[in-house]
């Protein structure tokens, strides 16, 4: 707090993790002797840089870029790049911090990192996005590499942006390597990476429902927020598992479709022409559009899957969800629930799947993309999907084992924090103090 008092999102993420790690630290005095917690919250490196580029009118635009290389105890730094006007050091540090534990939970050898820029791609032409990505990579390339730091996508960084970033890295370094994940299939990308976070979220939720409640998605009403990469494939998998998904949203508002969201229409709007979700109600009779994305949580449901952004469910929204009969919240977005919302879930004994476990499927398949790049071969969709499903089921099992070990049976949040932390902490102790 003394050093980072001006970084509210980062402090929020650290507090949540450290509170639940108390029983873990009490059981491991060597962590205290080795200063593990103090070292754990200080990134190994933070890079902050200028990105200058030229817009379509020939004007010079300047943005700020970040890469936080947080922890490399168990593998090269790994984590996405976010392009959004709300990006600042606090947001990137909270994401990088969560990423350490998430990557550890996947069981794959990846450290934690995150990056991005305050660049807003909304309304920008393809050429502008390309020139921005090239300018961004011109600086970033000196800090990353296939054995040191392997970025991926996040909000507003999808296949198009990864393609431009990869092209610029290759051009400058004259090197063809798996330095980014989420690449196009023609140049080293993995099948099922696009679907991985959303599908993984549903595999996790389905498994937690099975183990803890002997239940499933079948016949459930589901509320999803967002309509980006994570939301679209969460809706797809939830529907295939027998649920009725009745909402999706963007930053302007949400749509409610009592018959169940027609995903082809959403894909056409969002993936087809980067349109606004409002269009859905104009195209699908019987559906409604509501201005203001936060009210999506007033729609009654059995299961809520927040898939848009941080702090999108506050205490009041959480209470509304519970009052309307919701008994499951699993997080596709990173830190979508405020601390007050989490307290409401705990009070109401919801099945709560925290982001770092529930949305780890994206980075897990990124890890599998790195493996395929190293082998110089590609697995089939079904092979990758089966590995993803297994990883998500293992995350549920490992979280529940850890929760039991520390005396909080069934607590998926404590379990995820503890299971993710212990592996990294042990590696930090073994590697000596630095
Ligand atoms: P996209 O850019 O594809 O989609 C983001 C969606 O969330 C859009 O519908 C967007 O609406 C909405 N959104 C973004 N910011 C806000 C905001 N401030 N308020 C309300 N709505 C907002 O991103 P992703 O789907 O990739 O990411 C969504 C979440 O999932 C993020 O928290 C991300 O960190 C997390 N995540 C993503 C992974 C991945 O593999 N992509 C992996 C793990 C986590 P609009 O178009 O109006 O901006």
DSSP string covering 32-66? HHTTHHHHHTS-SEEEEEEEEEE-TTS-EEEEEEE
Can you tell me the distance from the alpha carbon of 180 to that of 124, in angstroms, rounded to the nearest whole number? 23
- Other CB atoms closer than 10 Å to residue 157's CB: what's the count? 27
Quote the CA–CA distance of 268 and 2 in Å, as a whole number: 48
Q: pLDDT value at position 292?
A: 95
Q: In the predicted model, what is the mean pLDDT of residues 139-162?
A: 98
**Active-site residue, 114 included:** yes
Most ligand 1 atoms within 8 A of CB, residue of 120, 154, 160, 232 to mutate: 154
Taking CA atoms, 322 is separated from 44, 70, 123, 210, 334, in Å, by 40, 36, 38, 21, 21
Residue 2 in this model has a pLDDT that exceeds 80: no
Res. 165: pLDDT tops 90: yes
Q: What is the mean pLDDT of residues 367-373?
A: 98
Cβ-based neighbours of 191, under 8 Å, separated by 6 or more: 185, 378, 379, 380, 381, 384
Atom of ligand 1 nearest to the CA of 248: 9
What kind of fold does domain 194-353 have according to CATH? Rossmann fold (3.40.50)
In 210-368 the beta strands, taken as DSSP E runs, fall at 221-224, 244-245, 247-249, 253-256, 288-291, 303-305, 328-330, 351-353
List the strands of the sheet with 77-83, edge to edge: 45-54, 60-71, 112-117, 77-83, 149-152
State the average pLDDT over residues 311-326: 98
Structure tokens at 273: 């022409």
Portions of the chain given CATH number 3.40.50.10860: 43-177
Across 267-291, average pLDDT: 97
Spatial CB neighbours of 387, under 8 Å, sequence gap ≥ 6: 364, 365, 368, 379
Q: Are 53 and 61 in contact (CB under 8 A)?
A: yes
The reported pLDDT for the residue numbered 85 is 98
Closest CA to ligand 1's atom 37: 154
Where in the chain are all domains bearing CATH 3.40.50.720? Answer: 194-353
pLDDT tens for each residue of 68-116: 999 999 999 999 999 999 999 999 999 999 999 999 999 999 999 999 9
CATH dotted code for 43-177? 3.40.50.10860
Report pLDDT digits (tens) over 231-277.
Answer: 999 999 999 999 999 999 999 999 999 999 999 999 999 999 999 99
DSSP 187-221: GT--TTHHHHHHHHHHHHHHHHHHHHHS--STT-E
Rounded distance, CA 382 to CA 146, Å?
26
> Complex ipTM above 0.90?
yes
The yes-or-no verdict on residue 291 having pLDDT over 90 is: yes
How big, in percent rounded to 5, are the helix, strand and coil portions of the chain?
50, 15, 35
pLDDT digits (tens, 9 = 90+) for 184-206: 999 999 999 999 999 999 999 99
Which atom number of ligand 1 is nearest to the Cα of residue 156? Answer: 2
**Any alpha helices (H) in 214-314, and if so which ranges?**
229-240, 263-267, 273, 278-283
* Residue in the block written with tokens 């309509």: 227
Backbone angles phi, psi at 427, to 5 degrees: -65, -40
Are 226 and 255 in contact, with CB atoms under 8 Å apart?
no
67 CA distance to ligand 1 middle (Å): 19
Q: What is the Å distance from ligand 1's center to 301 Cα?
A: 21
Give nearest CA residue, ligand 1 atom 11.
Answer: 250
For the beta carbon of residue 26, count every other beta carbon within 10 angstroms. 11
Give 225 Cα–ligand 1 centroid separation in angstroms. Answer: 9
pLDDT at 1 over 90: no
> What spacing in Å lies between the alpha carbon of 308 and ligand 1's midpoint?
4
pTM of the model: 0.97
Residue 107 CB neighbour total at 10 angstroms: 17
Question: In this model, does residue 24 exceed pLDDT 90?
Answer: yes
Nearest CA to ligand 1 atom 31: 333
- Residue 181: other Cβ atoms inside 10 A: 27
Element spanning 83, H or E: strand 77-83
Inter-residue contact 367 to 346 (CB < 8 Å): no
Confidence at residue 293, expressed as pLDDT on a 0 to 100 scale:
95
Catalytic residue among 78, 102, 114, 183: 114
Closest residue by Cα to residue 318 from 294, 293, 344, 355: 344
């Amino acid at each position: 707090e003394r050093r980072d008092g001006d970084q509210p999102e980062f402090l929020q993420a650290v507090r949540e993790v450290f509170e639940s790690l108390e029983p873990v630290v009490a059981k491991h005095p060597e962590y205290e002797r080795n200063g593990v917690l103090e070292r754990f919250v200080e990134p190994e490196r933070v890079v902050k840089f200028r990105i200058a580029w030229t817009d379509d009118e020939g004007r010079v635009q300047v943005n700020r870029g970040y890469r936080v290389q947080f922890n490399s105890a168990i593998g090269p730094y790994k984590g996405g790049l976010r392009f959004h006007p709300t990006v600042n050091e606090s947001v990137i540090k909270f994401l990088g911090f969560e990423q350490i534990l998430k990557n550890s939970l996947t069981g794959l050898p990846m450290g934690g990192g995150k990056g991005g820029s305050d660049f807003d791609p909304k309304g920008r032409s393809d050429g502008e996005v390309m020139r921005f990505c090239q300018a961004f990579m011109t600086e970033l390339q000196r800090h990353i590499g296939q054995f040191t730091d392997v970025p991926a996508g996040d909000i507003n960084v999808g296949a198009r942006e990864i393609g431009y970033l990869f092209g610029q890295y290759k051009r400058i370094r004259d090197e063809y390597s798996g330095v980014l994940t989420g690449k196009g299939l023609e140049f080293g990308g993995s099948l099922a990476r696009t679907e991985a976070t959303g599908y993984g979220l549903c595999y996790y939720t389905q498994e937690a429902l099975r183990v803890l409640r002997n239940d499933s998605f079948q016949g459930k009403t589901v509320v999803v927020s967002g309509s980006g990469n994570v939301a679209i494939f969460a809706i797809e998998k939830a529907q295939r598992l027998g649920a009725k998904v009745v909402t999706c949203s963007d930053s302007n508002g949400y749509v409610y479709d009592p018959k169940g969201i027609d995903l082809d229409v959403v894909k056409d709007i969002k993936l087809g022409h980067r349109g606004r979700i409002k269009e859905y109600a104009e195209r699908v009779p019987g559906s409604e559009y509501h201005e203001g994305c936060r009210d999506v949580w007033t729609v009654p449901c059995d299961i809520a899957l927040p898939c848009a952004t941080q702090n999108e469910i506050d205490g009041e929204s959480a209470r509304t969800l519970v009052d309307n009969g919701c008994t499951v919240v699993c997080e596709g977005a990173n830190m979508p629930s405020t601390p007050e919302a989490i307290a409401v879930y705990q009070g109401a004994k919801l099945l709560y799947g925290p982001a770092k476990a529930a949305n780890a499927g994206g980075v897990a398949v990124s890890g599998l993309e790195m493996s395929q790049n190293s082998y110089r071969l590609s697995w089939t969709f079904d092979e990758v999907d089966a590995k993803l499903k297994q990883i998500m089921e293992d995350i549920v099992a490992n979280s529940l084992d850890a929760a039991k070990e520390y005396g909080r049976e069934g607590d998926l949040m404590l379990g995820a924090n503890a299971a993710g932390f212990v592996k990294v902490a042990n590696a930090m102790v073994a590697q000596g103090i630095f």
